[in-house]
Structure formats: C-alpha cells, structure tokens
Structure 1
Amino acid sequence: MSTSRPVVLITGTSSGIGLETALAVARTDRHVVATMRDPGRDEALRTAAREAGVADLIEVRRLDVTDPASVLACVAAVVADHGRLDALVNNAGAGHVGTLELDGVAKAREVMEVNFFGVLTVTEAALPHLRVAGGRLLTVTSVGGVVGQPFNEAYCAAKFAVEGFMESLHPVAAGVGVRVTVVEPGAVASEFVRNAGAGEMADRVAAAGPYAVALQNYLARTADAFAAAQSSAEAAEAVAAALTADRPAFRIQTSERARAFVGVKLADLDGDKVTGLTAGWVS
C-alpha cells in the first residue's frame, strides 16, 4: 500500500516536545508515524490528536532507539506499509543531572547510548529511504549541544556529539538529496524536565558530598530558568516549521532566549564568555 501524503517518523512521542511535534506535523497534512518505547503510554497523544482533529493522520508504533532490532523492524514496516519515508525527526532522549566523580563513566555511557547512539541507529535505518524521497532529517538537540552546562556533563557531551555528527553529515547528505537540520530548544516546560530529576533536589544535594553547594546553587538557578520556560507546543512549532520550510537552516533555535544563549558560544572564540557565564550558575 502506498500513502499519498508525505510520511514522517518521529521518535519519543509519548510526551513533551515529541507529542506536540506529532500534532504540529499532522496539522501540515502529513502522515505521522509517532513512535515510542512503550506504546502503552500512547493515551495522551491519542487524546490530544482527537481533540486537535488529526487522529486519522497519526499512527503509533513501537520503537526503542537503544534496540537496533526494534529500530530496523519499525522502519522496515513503515516503508512496507506506506511505500515511502519522507522525513525523520529524531526527538527521543533522556536528561541527566550529575557529575563524573559522583556518577562514574558507566552513567555517561548510558546517557550517550540514548542521546547519541540512539540517534545514529535510527538515522542509519532511515537514510536509504530518505535518499529515495529526497527527504528531511531533523534532530532535536538542545542549547546544551552548543553550550556546556554545569552538572550536565554527560548530557551535553551527547548533544555536542549529535551536533558535530549532523554538522559533518550535512554536506554529505545534501549531495544525495537529504536536508539535515538540528533544532535547539532552550528551557522547555515538559515531562522531560521532570524525568531529569530536577524535583529531587534535597536527595541529590545530600548525596553530593564536596559538590553539594555547587549543585544546590545550580538546581536553584535551573528551577528559576524553567519557571519561565517556553511550552512544548511552542518548541514543536519550530520543528514543524523546519520540516516544511523550502530551505531550512542547518541550526534552528526554538525561542529568542535560546538564540541569545547559543549566540554567546558561537561568538566566543576563546571560551571566556561561556565559562564566565556558567561559573555564575554554581557559585
């Protein structure tokens, strides 16, 4: 069976930016394959899709970015069922707050597995089909993929890696007809933030030993930042706009605050502005 509408596969759609992106893309009259590790968590998306009048344009499938067999099976089934794959939105990810001495290398590997290698696994599976379609490859990264942030070492390392990979892939993919874009949200009010553990402040500080004061200061600053965060829906609109633009930029921020923050790094040749800024977060 061939689907006449463009087909867009989005990872990590059970909540937050992923859920809202599925809705925003469906509103552009594209067929959305909304994937999630546990399809049993699809009720929020299905309810929102019905309320938005796009339920017939969204299907839910299982895809675990850390399981290559799951990824290959999902992508193959989408192409078999619809005859095409026009775009991939890599959105699935996991936050982590911590520091190396307390967490160890094993935790950093775990964060990289989800946020970096998971992106590569899905991208590898999708690229042959995106080439055929002359399609789009979008990856939701973070301002943390440009500016390193205290107690986000593993998370930022993974997002830096994704940005470096996609920036390097961009001209290669363009040569075979695939446009590559990274979308960089700043602070977003979503379940992702709660999953990162920001609400467990007291327990984290108590276990932080010599890092306790710095961590307490960081968590307090972060709580203030997320009090003024943009909504997941606003961030998702930026993703949908990048997907539908004729010539999307490689790097797109989802808000003016995100643009200003990323701008500090991109204009900072020796690193003093960034490290001076973030030092104030922990002192």
Structure 2
Amino acid sequence: MATTRTVLVTGTSSGIGLSTAALAARAGWQVVATLREPARAQALTTRAEAEGVVLDVRALDVTRTAEVEALVDSVVETYGGLDAVVNNAGMGLVGTLETLDLDDYRRAMEVNYFAVVALSRAAMPHLRASRGRLVTVASVGGVVGQPFNEAYCGAKFAVEGFLESLHPVAAAAGVGVVVVEPGAVATSFAASAVRDRDALLAAAGPYEGALRAYLTRTESVFADAQHPDEVAAVILDALQAEAPPFRVQTSPVATAFAGMKLADLDGSRVTGTTRRWLDG
C-alpha cells in the first residue's frame, strides 16, 4: 500500500485550485492537479518549481463524465488508491433572466453542479476504501442568493443541498464530506464572469442602472479580496483535520455573510440587504 496520500484537485490553472495544489504538495500529498486546457498550466508549473514540489498535471474537462471516470480510474491505477478529492473547478456568470438564455443556465449547472456530482460519484468507492475526504469549494453564493447571479447561485445552492444530504450517508461509510465557502477571492474568477463590462451593460435594457450599481459594488468588494493561498490553507485543513465540520467559511467576512442567511428564517434580512446593492 502507498504511504503517501493522494489527492485529486480540479481547476488548478489559477487561483484557489493552483494554490491548493501547491500547498497540498508542500504538505506531503501526492497531488494530481487537473485543468481543462493543458496550455494554461504554466502558472501552475511555475508555482510548483518555486515551492520545490512535483505535481502530476493532467487534462480534465469536468463536464465530460466519461473523461472524469477514466481519470479517476487512471489515478487509482497509478497510485494504488485515492485519499481525497477537492472539487474546485467552476465558472461564474453575471446576468439575469432576460439577459441570459437557458443554455447559459444549463452551462452553469453543468460546470458548477453536475461536474461535482460526477467526480464525487466516480471517486466515492475509492474514498470509502481509504476512509478519505471529499472537499468541495462552494461559495457564500451557495448560501446567500445574489443579484445578477441567479445562474451561479442556483448551481451553488444545488451543490450545498447535494453535499449536505450526502454528508451523513458518506460519514456512515467512513468518508468525510466538507464544503468550503469563500467570499471574495483575488483571482481571475470574477473577471471571467464579466468578460466585457460595457457590452454587459449595453445588453441589460431595463436593468442597466441596477446592474451598474451591482458591478460598482462588486468591484469595491474585490478590491479587498482574500488571497487564494488563505483559502487553500482552509482547504488543506479540511483535508487533514481529524474531524472537520461539514461547512467552513474562509474568512470572518464570509462567516458573517453566511451567518446572515442562517439566522434569517423569513428571508427579509437577506433580500433587504441585497436589494440595497442595486441602489445607485
């Protein structure tokens, strides 16, 4: 049996996934770092060299279930087992019902929700065998719905419900399930959700004023965003702690934001707060 623990991390070309792969390898894990486009691996390999660690970098499109299953089988064949998974790959999408189409919503669900289900399902027999850990990067947007993020938050709400339901079942089989909830993080994630600000505003129609106010507020929030290494440190703790909680936020700001929802039984505090974001 292998003595080095093996973890599979998705979405490692940048941001949280890149930091998680590097920190886990530095902590002694054998890291299989996946990304959709191998051509975007330069930042990952540069960080690995700087840390003095070796990563097993592999291509993976998390929306292709057959590819996901084949990769898990290959990892198990290579290393003799699988001790942990970090579901990190995801996508943001800014817009609302009348500015997005159904294919946009379906794409958000495929990347942010169904990909998590597919990888978790493929990995679970191996995690049972190792009594391992299934860690998923969700978001405070999986707890508090946010304006112009219906597609993204809807998918992240689904992730939270799926994993909260799975948690006791997996625990009975010896597998720990953890959801990590970051707030604003200094990565390219937010920018990728708003690829062309001017075009987004031009297409907003009657929602232009509210969207402009939302984008201005969001830019100010991300100006003080958390560093991805800080989030990765929380993920590493979730991987290694003897008995981590099911749900963990990555900063006091994220904890306070998520706590607003959990203490708001009728929803008025949440919707009152987010409605004010749209006032110019």
TM-score, normalised relative to structure 1: 0.97
2:101 paired with 1:65 = no
CA distance in 2, matches of 1:6, 1:110: 33
Correspondences of 1:204-223 after superposition (within 5 Å):
204-223=200-219
CA distance in 2, matches of 1:38, 1:105: 25
CA distance in 2, matches of 1:183, 1:267: 19
Ranges in structure 2 where 5+ consecutive residues have no aligned partner: none
Render the CA deviation track for 1:221-275: whole Å, top value 9, x for unaligned: 0000000101111111111111111100100000010001001000001101000
Render the CA deviation track for 1:126-157: whole Å, top value 9, x for unaligned: 00100000000000000000000000001000
- Residue 207 of structure 1 aligns with an amino acid whose one-letter code is A
Contact 1:201/1:216 (<8 A) preserved? no
- Residue 217 of structure 1 aligns with an amino acid whose one-letter code is A
Render the CA deviation track for 1:41-89: whole Å, top value 9, x for unaligned: 111111101101112xx11011111001210111010000110100000
CA distance in 1, matches of 2:80, 2:9: 17
Where does residue 144 of structure 1 map in the other structure? 141
Correspondences of 1:36-47 after superposition (within 5 Å):
36-47=35-46
SS in 1 for 2:91: coil
Contact 1:62/1:70 (<8 A) preserved? no
* Structure 1 residue 24: Cα displacement: 1.2
Where does residue 187 of structure 1 map in the other structure? 184
Where does residue 132 of structure 1 map in the other structure? 129
Where does residue 275 of structure 2 map in the other structure? 279
* Structure 1 residue 158: Cα displacement: 0.2
CA distance in 2, matches of 1:76, 1:213: 50
**Runs of 4+, deviation exceeding 4 Å:** none
2:255 paired with 1:256 = no
SS in 1 for 2:277: helix
Correspondences of 1:95-134 after superposition (within 5 Å):
95-134=92-131
CA distance in 2, matches of 1:152, 1:168: 24
SS in 1 for 2:94: coil
Residues matched between the structures, number: 279
Where does residue 5 of structure 1 map in the other structure? 4
2:165 paired with 1:168 = yes
Cα RMSD (Å): 0.9
CA distance in 2, matches of 1:215, 1:48: 36
Where does residue 85 of structure 1 map in the other structure? 82
TM-score, normalised relative to structure 2: 0.98
